[in-house]
Structures are given as structure tokens and as C-alpha cells.
Structure 1
Amino acid sequence: MKRRTGFLYDESYFWHNTGNGALSLPPGGWIQPDIHSENPETKRRFKNLLERSGLMDQLYPLKPRPASLDAIQLFHKKEYIEKVRELSEIGYGDAGDEALVGKGSYEIALLSAGGAITAVEAVMNGKVDNAYALVRPPGHHAEADFGMGFCLFNNVAIAAKYARKYLHIERILILDWDVHHGNGTESAFYHDPHTLFISLHQEENYPSGRGKVEDTGIGNGEGYNINIPLPAGTGNAGYLHAMQEIVAPVADQFKPQLILISAGQDSSMFDPLGRMMVTADGFRQMTDLMIEIADKHCQGRFVACHEGGYSTAYVPFCSHAIVEEMSGSKTDVKDPFVDEKNMPTNKIYDIQKEYIHQAKEAQSKYWNF
């Protein structure tokens, strides 16, 4: 079915400068300078592929506006916001743990968070049915008072809190399928029964010690935080099994009025910072399931915000498949890297089933399965 899908990006997002480094480490000592993992090429090439395929012509363009300080402070501490601003003026620095700031990054990060808000507003006011926000820098690791893992301001957390306060949405479901645990988003809603946070991630990848199945929320928020750590090598079948066994039945009981997806395509089989095996078709299948859930409970309203993904060659195809599915538009683009026939990624293994069973057991006292 054809849908009116919004697509949001801004050239400024590609100008956020993380400097050079090998993978995520700065050069020096024995580390020769290289291109930093969180560089603009994955995002720019995704946007270019949308244009080259003609899919961009089928999308509704959305223009971001900078988030206000009031909006940023819905989650972040004033002192931390000021630190990011000061580092941005200096031209280089770390706002926490591998949260690099370049010249002008403060203004770009405001526009990134504002882009998530703009996309949510467009969906909620009926301008579009759903929306993909190609924002940068990413956000899901950013805590209230420090940045982490390339993230400065937590775009999805800010957009969700904005939607709760200003758009009067009672129940929001956030699904994070980035290969790394969305620790900052978890922290933002750990006490909140109105925002259900579900994270599918590679176990003990990053950050260490976060994303355990027993971390289910505190106080009124107990049971509204669901972690599904998965073993390295989990592919399409494992991810889809986790979503069918846990995400879908919980969503049916929670009945969200809006769905936000932290769309990190670093769980792909070619990502240098992950060890998972999801293909472009796997992301398509996960998106299709989330469309079903959104159609069932919230009139199709959901927003995907770009997070991680560091394979410059493969992320564009994974992300393109997501937007194709969201919009209901098909193009001639095929996955040039993967032959889906007899791929091990399309088989679920006993160890993967056991991990998903453990996550399900941890939630069984809160939800009916």
C-alpha cells in the first residue's frame, strides 16, 4: 500500500566534523590517522541512493528546524548543553566518552534533535503518514549530562519527551534496533510507564554493562524497559523471531499512539563495529512488522530516526530498503552484496532462541505471552 512518507535531512548534518581516527579512536601513538567511523559518507550515500533510484521523488520533503534550548532541556542538563556549546566554539573536544565535537557541531546537533521533533510533528499533524529522519549526529547513547558513542544530544529521547509534553501523546513505543544498546534512551525513560523502550542489540558490545535482560525499569516504569541482547552472528531470522515473540505481543498490550524507531543499520552483516548478520532484506522485514503494529494501534504513525551504521557500501542499501517499505514504493534497486538463497542469516539457531527466551522470561511477570 502506498503511503505518504516524509523524508528529512539537511546538508548541515554532513558537516558535523568528527575528525580523523581509526575506527573510533583518535590518531596518535601506534594509531595512524584514518577516516573516523562516524563520518558523513554512510548518510550521504544513502541520500544519494534515494535520489539515484528515483525513490526520493516519491517522498514528501521535510525541512528541520533547530530544537529550542527548552526542548533539549527536556532531557539534558543545562551544564552539559553549555559544555557542548563551548567545545563547538573552540572547534574540537570530547563531550564525554567518544562524543566528538567539531566546529559548529553544537548548532548541527540542535538541528539534528530538531529534525526528530519536526518529523514527529509532521506525522502527528497528518502532513505525512510516517517519516524517516536522516539526522546526524546520532543520539541514542547520549545521557542527560554527558555524551557517549558519537552521540551529543539524544534525538529520539528529546522528540519523545516533546511529543508527551506538547503534543499530549500518552503512550509512545521506542524500538531501538541499533547493534549497540541505547543506554541514553533507556535512562531517559527508566521510571516512565508512558514510554515503552525496547532495545535489540548485540550483547556486551557497547556500552559495557548496559542492556541486560534484568534491567526492566524502576518504580512506575518497571516493566516498561525491555532489553533483548542477542549473540554475535544473529541475522534476519533471529531478529524477526525476537520481534514476533516479544515486540509484537507487548505492543498489542501497550497499544502505542506513536512509534519511534532508533534506526541503526550497524547490525548489518558488513558493519565494522558490529558482529551481526542482518541484510537489507532483514531490515525490510523488520520495518514491515513495525508498519503492521503501527497500522494496528496508531493509525500508521511512526518515525524512524537514523542512528549508527558504519559500512559506507552497505548502509545505503539497508536504509533504502527501510524507506521503500515505509512508503510502499518499489524501485529497481537490488542488494548487490548478498544472495539471500541459502544464507545462514535466514536460519535461526538454538543459541539465538535461548537468548530470546531469556529476554521473554524476564518480562513474563509484566506482559502476557
Structure 2
Amino acid sequence: MANSYNSIYLNNLSAFCARLSCGSLIELCKAVALGQVLNGVAIIRPPGHHAEPDEAGGFCLYNNVAIAARYLQKAHGLQKIFILDWDVHHGNGTQTAFYDDPNVVYCSIHRFDHGAFYPGDPVAAAHTAIGEGAGRGRTINIPWNSSGMGDSEYIYAFDKVIMPILYEFAPDFVLVSAGFDAAKGDHIGQMLVTPAAYGHMTHMLKSLAGGKIILALEGGYNLDSIAVSGLACAKALLNDPIEPLGSIVPNALCVQTIHEVIEVQSRYWKSLPQVYTDPIEEPVVGRHVVGMNKMMEAYRKSYLKERYDMIPMAKLESETGPAFLDNVHCT
């Protein structure tokens, strides 16, 4: 049976362990929702974010975080849920579960490698996957096309995309699919995120939703990296001091990726720089889009007038048309 799925391993206790893992997260969510504890970390396995609504996959039998989000909505009336997935792999199952849901924002920051990195979907894991129907803009993918991304790149993504959207969305609850396979030392993820960065990311997240935040363990293949990274997150939740970070200087590939994400997502989030410039596909009412050619035309006109006292040539009937004549200036 296991061989019929994608990367699934089973024994006679797998079903029980999967229910125990998912149930433990639900119990922790219940405690936080009722105010019995402020926040928490669910140290659970098997993980969940690769499990589709109707199929297991990627070591995941039940999608723990997705089920917990639905539980919080139905049992406690906490409608607006923000799910951040910082596991190095894209959480395809969680994205599928909420792809058309306007009340759940799913944000994944993952290694992509142009679709070659597991789960290997060049469409669903790309930055252009934004949700559908009422859920458009509620799926946010930040896909790295290279290994070696570290503290600067992850903190830059937080500053430029994740935190602005979080403050605008103002969730009732924050769930983190906290895989630690992007941690420094993990041989599968091959990323360089330090425990200090995980601590700072957790600290930023807990400023939302009145501090109601839960981290649920997902992937990770180096036990030492998982231990020290998870400890840093727990310290941040307990308001213990966090190790300082070095200077934040993201690499060029990171900056390019973040710019591409903002280009797509700025259409749906006012907190992002408004750089969406596709006036053809479903134009946004009330937003005036100006083409770069028009901007350059206005600049040239102003510059030539001030510097050389030149003005545009009077329009004439011509086969070349006005597009050419509008760029002819004379004294």
C-alpha cells in the first residue's frame, strides 16, 4: 500500500501515530483558543503539510495544520487564520485545502529550483499560484530557485512581504508549519538559516493575533539542527532573549524573487508597493495603470524643454503615425 503513494512509509502503528499527531495539535489549539496557555509548540510526527485532502504523500498521512485551522474556525469561531509554512519544501496539501478560501492565508517560503525540488510542481509551488475564486491573493508562495539561502534572505522576505501582509490581514490565529529542514546543517534542504533567525521570525509572528500562535513541527533531517532551531523558537515564545543577527544583506537572487512576488501580490494587498502593471487581465477598478513608455515620454518632454527649450513637433498626418511623431522634438 505504501508503494502506491508518493514517499509514504507504513507499519502497523502508522494510522494510530498519525491520529495522535493530529489530535495533539488540535488539543494545543484548543488550549490556546480557550486562553489556558498563550502559545505553544507541537512537537509531533508524522508531519502533515504534503497530505492532500484526499491522499497521503511526502511522509504525511493527515494534514495536521490544515485540520487544526478548520477546527479553530468551526469550534471556536476564529475565522481569519494565517498559516506560515517555512519548511524547505512547499506545502502542497495545505495550499490545496485553502486555495479558494478568503479567510485563510497560506504563505509558503520554500526551495523551488524552478520546479525541480520536491514536491516538484512547477506550477503550484511558483510565485504565480495565488489562489482562485474568492481566495485569489490568499495564497502566497516565496520560491527560492537556489540552495544556500540564509538569515538575510529569510528576514528580508519577512520584512518585505510576510509581515506587511500579516498586519493588513490581521488574523485571529497564526499557525506555523515549522519544518526545520531549511536550517543550517540540514543535508536535504541545503539552506543556511540559523537558530537566531528562527527565533527572530517567531518573535515577529507573535506580535499578531494577540499572541495566539502555535508552531507545529513538520520536516527536518538533522536532529541537532531541529533541536537548536526549535529551542530558539520556544525561547522566543517565552520572551527569553534572542541571539542578535548580523547585518541583513540579501543576495541578488533573493531580491529578484521578492520583487517578483510583490509584482503578483501587490494587486491584492495594499500594504505592498503597488507595482502590479498588467492592465489587460482583470483590471482593478479604481487603479490607474500607466505604461512605462508614457512615463518615459513625459520625462523626455520635460527634460528637453528645460535643458534645450525644445517642444514636441506639431502632429502631422503621416504613414508613420502619431507614435513616432509624438517623440519628435524641435526648437
Aligned partner (choices 328, 342, 346) of residue 239 of structure 2: 328
Aligned to 2:119: 207
Cα displacement (A) at 1:288 = 1.3
Residue 80 of structure 2 is aligned to residue 178 of structure 1: no
Count of aligned positions: 265
Structure 1 gaps of 5+ residues are 1-86, 88-92
Tell me which residue corresponds to 1:97.
Answer: 6
Structure (1 or 2) with the larger CA radius of gyration: 2
Q: How far did 1:330 drift?
A: 5.5
SS of the residue 2:36 aligns to: coil
Please point out which of 272, 276, 289 is paired with 2:187: 272
Matched, 1:356 2:258: yes
Local SS of the residue matching 1:214? coil
Distance 2:30 2:4 in 1: 29
- Would you say the 8 A contact 2:32–2:38 is kept in 1? yes
Secondary structure of 1:299's counterpart equals: helix
Distance in 1 of aligned mates of 2:94 and 2:11: 23
Q: Secondary structure of 1:357's match? A: helix
Give me the whole-angstrom Cα distance separating, in 1, the residues matched to 2:240 and 2:245: 21
- Secondary structure in structure 1 of the residue aligned to 2:53: coil
Structure 2 distance, partners of 1:285, 1:95, is 40
Q: CA deviation at 1:348?
A: 1.1
Of 268, 284, 288, which aligns to 2:203? 288
Q: TM-score, normalised by structure 1?
A: 0.69
Partner Cα separation in structure 1 for residue 155 and residue 265 of structure 2: 18
Counterpart residue type for residue 208 of structure 1: G
Contact 2:197–2:245 (CA under 8 A) maintained in structure 1: no
The AA in structure 2 aligned to 1:243 is: F
Question: Partner of 2:22 in structure 1?
Answer: 113
Q: Is the 8 A contact 1:94 1:101 kept in 2?
A: no
Distance in 2, matches of 1:366 and 1:341, equals 33
Instruction: Give the distance between the partners of 2:138 and 2:224, measured in 1 at CA.
Output: 36
Provide the secondary structure at the position in 1 that maps to 2:187: coil
Whole-angstrom distance in 2 between the partners of 1:363 and 1:347: 23
> Are 1:302 and 2:213 counterparts?
yes
Mapped pair 1:245 → 2:156: no
Query: Is the Cα contact below 8 Å between 1:95 and 1:146 reproduced in 2?
Result: no
- Structure 1's consecutive aligned runs of 4 or more residues displaced over 2 angstroms after TM superposition are 339-342
CA apart distance, 1:313: 2.2
Output one character per residue of 1:46-103: Cα deviation in whole Å (capped at 9) or x when no partner: xxxxxxxxxxxxxxxxxxxxxxxxxxxxxxxxxxxxxxxxx6xxxxx34621121112
5+ residue gaps, structure 2: 273-331
Q: Distance in 2 between matches of 1:312 and 1:174?
A: 24
Q: Give the counterpart of 2:136 among 222, 235, 248.
A: 222
Using the alignment, how far apart are the partners of 1:156 and 1:219 within structure 2? 22
Report the CA distance between 1:347 and its aligned residue. Answer: 3.4
User: What secondary structure sits across from 2:181 in the alignment?
Assistant: helix
Q: Identity, % of aligned pairs?
A: 36
State the shift of 1:278 in Å: 0.4
SS of 1:242's equivalent? helix
**Paired residues of 1:202 and 1:275 also in contact (CA < 8 A):** no
Q: Answer yes or no: is the 8 Å Cα contact 1:95–1:152 preserved in 2.
A: no
Aligned to 1:34: none
Quote the Cα distance in structure 1 between the aligned partners of 2:173 and 2:3. Answer: 33
**Cα RMSD, aligned residues only:** 1.8
What letter is aligned with 2:181? D
Question: Which runs of structure 2 are paired with 1:101-180 in the superposition (5 Å)?
Answer: 101-180=10-89
**SS of residue paired to 1:196:** strand
> Any idea what the Cα deviations from partners look like across 1:117-169, whole Å, max 9, x if unmatched?
11111111001110100011000000112111111100000000111111111
By how many angstroms is 1:320 displaced?
A: 0.6
1:329 is displaced (CA, Å) by 3.3
* Equivalence map 1:249-268=2 (5 Å): 249-268=164-183
Q: TM-score, normalised by structure 2?
A: 0.77
- Aligned AA (1:364): S
SS at match of 2:237: helix
User: Is 1:95–1:147's contact at 8 Å kept on the other side of the alignment?
Assistant: no
Contact (CA 8 Å) 1:122, 1:128: kept in 2 or not?
A: yes
